[in-house]
């Protein structure tokens, strides 16, 4: 039995297991399974890597912390500083990042001429992939975090007005905490804005609802998730 799996913490909610197992069934890929490797800390990795599995995805909170456990990184993962896909090749563990591809392909159809600057909420591995994609699209980014150079309290009317893309890269608002949203001044958002939430459960988070009320175009992370999964599958089978 070929085994692929997701490395993360408290990941019973995850999309990946159902997505890949359904894919294997639909495409008649036999003797293959996708499982969750729910681990409390990365010291458990050494045992996991000895199990001779085919490949892995990586999610919160290990996208950055897992890098020292790998043998090599591809050029994009190295530049981003975060990994969401691991390929086992000649007994070597090689880290890749497909999040940036998923984000880039899913946001491009929504971009308009005035979308030249983006607010990126959060500083984790996902936000690094988003910033990397935005950089390729020549969109300037301002990172907002609780303890960074720009905090949520710093967000003025001028900053919101000038940054017509707002991307939530935090888990705030994910089911079951559906009554939570990043603390930004939503009243400054207009119909010039594009609001993108990497969260996909619920389909319309409170962040997206708040932005939609102000006339913004909204997008959740579902398409990004599907694209990054297919890109991971290509890597494992290349």
Catalytic amino acids?
Answer: 63
CA–CA separation, 98 and 206 (whole Å): 27
Backbone angles phi, psi at 186, to 5 degrees: -60, -25
d(CA 73, CA 82): 10
DSSP string, the chain: -EEEEEEESS-TT-SHHHHHHHHHHHTT--SEEEEEEE-SSGGGHHHHHTT--SEEEE-TT-TTTTGGGSSEE-HHHHHHT--SEEEEETTEEEEE--HHHHHHHHHGGG--TT--EEEEE--SHHHHHHHHHHHHTT-EEEEE-SSSSB-GGG--HHHHHH--EEEE-S-TT-TT-TT------GGG--TT-EEEES--SSSS-HHHHHHHHTT-EEE-SHHHHHHHHHHHHHHHT-
The Cα 48–Cα 70 span in angstroms is 13
């Amino acid at each position: 039995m070929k085994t692929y799996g997701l490395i993360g913490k408290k990941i019973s909610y995850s999309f990946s297991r159902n997505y890949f197992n359904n894919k294997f069934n639909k495409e008649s890929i036999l003797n293959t399974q996708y499982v969750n490797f729910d681990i409390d800390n990365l010291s458990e990795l050494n045992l996991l890597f000895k199990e001779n599995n085919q490949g892995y995805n990586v999610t919160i909170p290990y996208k950055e912390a897992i890098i020292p456990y790998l043998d090599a990184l591809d050029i994009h993962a190295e530049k981003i500083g975060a990994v969401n896909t691991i390929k086992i090749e000649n007994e070597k563990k090689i880290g890749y990042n497909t999040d940036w591809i998923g984000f880039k392909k899913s946001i491009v159809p929504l971009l308009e001429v005035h979308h030249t600057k983006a607010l990126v909420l959060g500083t984790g591995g996902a936000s690094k992939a988003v910033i990397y994609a935005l950089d390729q699209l020549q969109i300037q980014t301002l990172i907002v975090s609780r303890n960074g150079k720009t905090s949520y309290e710093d967000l003025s009317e001028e900053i919101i007005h000038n940054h017509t893309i707002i991307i939530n890269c935090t888990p705030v608002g994910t089911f079951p905490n559906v009554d939570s949203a990043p603390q930004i001044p939503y009243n400054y958002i207009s119909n010039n804005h594009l609001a993108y939430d990497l969260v996909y459960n619920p389909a319309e988070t409170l962040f997206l609802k708040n932005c939609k009320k102000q006339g913004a175009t909204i997008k959740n992370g579902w398409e990004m998730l599907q694209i990054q999964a297919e890109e991971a599958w290509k890597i494992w089978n290349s």
